[in-house]
Amino acid sequence: MDASQYFYRNVMFSKHGDEISLVDIYNPKKEEKVLEMWFGLVLQLADGQHTVNELLDFVAKQYKGDPPSTLGQTLHSVVSRLESLQFIVLTKEATELPYYLSRPVELLDIEKAKKLMEEDKKNHKPEN
């Protein structure tokens, strides 16, 4: 993995305390899938404005003293897994997130988010 790449989330999320969950605003009664701590942390930080290296530096600074020697390996593994699930995307340039991916769902105007998602779907035509 090229850790100089930027990373951004490709899914909507909810934040309740320290728990990060995936949400479907079209099906609010569907049970939210709570992510394991590392996955939730990376997804929450995937704002498109920071690189994987910056993620590593940020998380390492959260430890008092030296971070665990396996921290880099753990975060690389989490980023790779989230990318394979298409929950995050890696890119060479910083990326501005659309409104509906920019913050936890609790902080969104749901009707505005739905409208913008529909507009994006109409404007995005798959390549043949």
pLDDT tens track for 1-19 = 899 999 999 999 999 999 9
pLDDT in tens, 16-40: 999 999 999 888 778 788 999 999 9
In whole angstroms, give the CA distance from residue 106 to residue 91.
27
In whole angstroms, give the CA distance from residue 12 to residue 26.
11
For residues 94 and 6, the answer to whether their CB atoms sit within 8 Å is: yes
Domain coordinates in residue numbering, the chain? 6-123
pTM tops 0.85, yes or no: yes
